[in-house]
Amino acid sequence: MSEALYPVPAALAADARITASTAAAMHALAASDPDTFWRQQAQRLDWITPFTKVDESSFNEADFGISWFADGQLNVSANCIDRHLATRGDQPAIIWEGDDPADSRVITYAQLHEEVCRFANVLKSHGVQRGDRVTLYLPMIPEAAFAMLACTRIGAVHSIVFAGFSPDSLASRIRDCDSRIVVTADEGLRGGKRVPLKANVDAALDHCSSVEKVIVVQRTGADVAMVAGRDLFYGPARDAAATDYAPQAMGAEDPLFILYTSGSTGTPKGVLHSTGGYLLWASMTHEHVFDYRPGEVYWCTADIGWVTGHSYVVYGPLANGATTLMFEGVPNYPDHSRFWQVCDKWNVSIFYTAPTALRALMREGDAYVQAASRASLRILGSVGEPINPEAWEWYHRIVGDGRCPIVDTWWQTETGGILIAPLPGATDLKPGSATLPLFGVHPLLVDAEGQELDGATEGNLCIAKSWPGQMRTVYGDHARFFQTYFTTYPGRYFTGDGARRDADGYYWITGRVDDVINVSGHRMGTAEVESALVAHAKVAEAAVVGMPHPIKGQGIYAYVTLNANEEPSDDLRKQLVAWVRNEIGPIATPDIIQFAPGLPKTRSGKIMRRILRKIAEGETGALGDISTLADPSVVEKLIADSQLAS
Ligand code: WT7
């Protein structure tokens, strides 16, 4: 573990938006008088009806519920657009950089207002009303942001499905929230390759009776099938739509969006976020953690299909009147210099990406980075998985030329925004540590029995008290929300992560302690991959675990037991990989499939994943006690057949 310490650069220590002394005062107020602290912080939003209530949350079963600013009213699109018009109508709100470096578009706040109003009018003309769920299956094009904000203007609830998901995954998400309307594009474009989005929607809708309208944005102009009466092109509808739409006053606790995420069991959960608390959290963390200053160009490389794209491409930066860069492409197209070329082209000050991208670029050598000046860069961010100190040092030394603090931001889909991260003007950095909790965030570490651990220690990471950006429920299943997050350690929110805390109080996230794996910063439930595998006609049983992977962080290792009359073969292995990609999407591609005549089970029939994990990690010397297995001999067979070397 790296013990290096990177102190706050002197210039930042003096003029950051939050310096060490402001940070100390804010932490002190948040701890001693949270009610006053949050009343003050919430003034950064424009309220239509001021709130009188603040935190009314409880993690206890008897009075369980999360609620912030409940009697206040506001509109998210008015906060992200209208209130900036008087002072920065002509400032770029969104800089869109296309997949092809010759393709770009700059959208000012005034233009954003017009586009969002037009989109809202199109949605309304097709019957979308306050509270309706609208599924968005879109590539990284400006219309994706317009559609999100248009929903919020109406008070409709968007559910974005990442455009890399399969038709089946899309269908189950549409069904779960009962959307009547889907917005998509003819095709997506990534790294020069076309993604057949409209065709995927058509395939999904064979299994969704709720959908009445499909709005198709023409991105590539491809010739796509259109179902009469159901499908329409966005372009002509947009041209005919009015350029004004009055923002709907929404309660702070009204739902803002649903975003599906994987858990350790069952189908993906519809994480539901609120209007007031979520926007406050996205906005304040964006300003504090990135030290955002007016006029700067800020770039988060995440796709809007993930929570990072929601909070840090769209809502946080736009609520702050920032210029946010939206990138359609990939880091290695046309070549591995693309990120840094884009930084130079648009004078990017703040750059936020994932460790997996950094590791992949690091492997290609420094020349691609040094081909660009990167002189505009000031702050670098990391998110999605633990960043290994080697990648951290490379990011700092090569990408940032040793000048730019790195903010390693720990959070989750459920948390709405960043909870643990450095403040660049106040926090000394340690490579590999997300450092300290933000204002009003109360992490704690517990042992397996739920006993709180003090001082420098390691344990399971919980949060003791609610914060405004916390998810409010699992859509359609409030009991599952309580059960998933608040019953393992009663009275506490359990994150599913393990962490170490050092003598300075710094947190070092060690990774998931449940059956969730993190592949290239994307969350995947092992149970989802298993159920895709057993859906194949030749598969009897499957067990999936994570394995260390040099670029992806974790890879997917699947143990598969075939039906009695089936023979293992390389061809079948390939078929199964293609099958899972088709069932879930390319992000679920198994890295290794090992045919296993038997899986290690206890006498009661429970698969001992601990053993499968060890084999997938290549640590076959440290399997621990296997005497409780029904048939210990299966373990030797598994080790002998391990696919790690292949
Ligand atoms: C899980 C949440 C946060 C938005 C993107 C992922 C892991 C996330 C870090 C970090 C170590 C991290 C955790 C967490 N994670 N950021 N900076 N250091 N681990 O959101 O898909 O909901 O995944 O990602 O394991 O629980 P998500």
Report how far ligand 1's centroid is from the alpha carbon of 267 (Å): 19
Report how far ligand 1's centroid is from the alpha carbon of 183 (Å): 28
Mutate to test the pocket of ligand 1, among 358, 408, 412, 471 (most ligand atoms within 8 A of CB): 412
Return d(Cα 634, Cα 640) in angstroms, integer: 10
pLDDT at 568: 96
pLDDT at 620: 85
432 ligand 1 Cβ < 6 A? no
Atom of ligand 1 nearest to the CA of 387: 18
Mutate to test the pocket of ligand 1, among 471, 509, 515, 524 (most ligand atoms within 8 A of CB): 509
Q: Which two tokens stand for residue 572?
A: 């079948």
pLDDT at 350: 98
303 ligand 1 Cβ < 6 A? no
Q: What does DSSP say about strands 255-261 and 157-160: parallel, antiparallel, or unpaired? A: parallel
412 ligand 1 Cβ < 6 A? yes
Radius of gyration of the chain (CA): 24
What is the ipTM score, two decimals? 0.99
pLDDT at 290: 98
Nearest CA to ligand 1 atom 14: 412
pLDDT at 2: 52
525 ligand 1 Cβ < 6 A? no
pTM, two decimal places: 0.96
Parts of the chain with a pLDDT under 50: 646
Return d(Cα 197, Cα 453) in angstroms, integer: 49
The answer to whether 315 touches 326, Cβ cutoff 8 Å, is: no
Atom of ligand 1 nearest to the CA of 302: 5
Number of H helices, E strands in the chain: 22, 29
Give the residue from 54, 44, 56 showing the smallest Cα distance to 280.
44
pLDDT at 121: 99
Strands (DSSP E) contained in 464-575 are 473-474, 493-501, 507-512, 516-519, 522-525, 539-549, 553-562
Q: Which residues pair with 608 in a beta bridge?
A: none
Return d(Cα 174, Cα 36) in angstroms, integer: 41
Report how far ligand 1's centroid is from the alpha carbon of 413 (Å): 8
Amino acid letter, residue 293: R
Report how far ligand 1's centroid is from the alpha carbon of 448 (Å): 21
pLDDT at 80: 99
Mutate to test the pocket of ligand 1, among 289, 353, 383 (most ligand atoms within 8 A of CB): 383
Return d(Cα 361, Cα 104) in angstroms, integer: 23
Report how far ligand 1's centroid is from the alpha carbon of 301 (Å): 15
Which structural domains are found in the chain, ordered by start? 10-500 (3.40.50.12780), 520-641 (3.30.300.30)
pLDDT at 625: 82
497 ligand 1 Cβ < 6 A? yes
* Pure H helices in 94-141: 109-125
pLDDT at 617: 93
493 ligand 1 Cβ < 6 A? no
pLDDT at 265: 83
Report how far ligand 1's centroid is from the alpha carbon of 584 (Å): 20
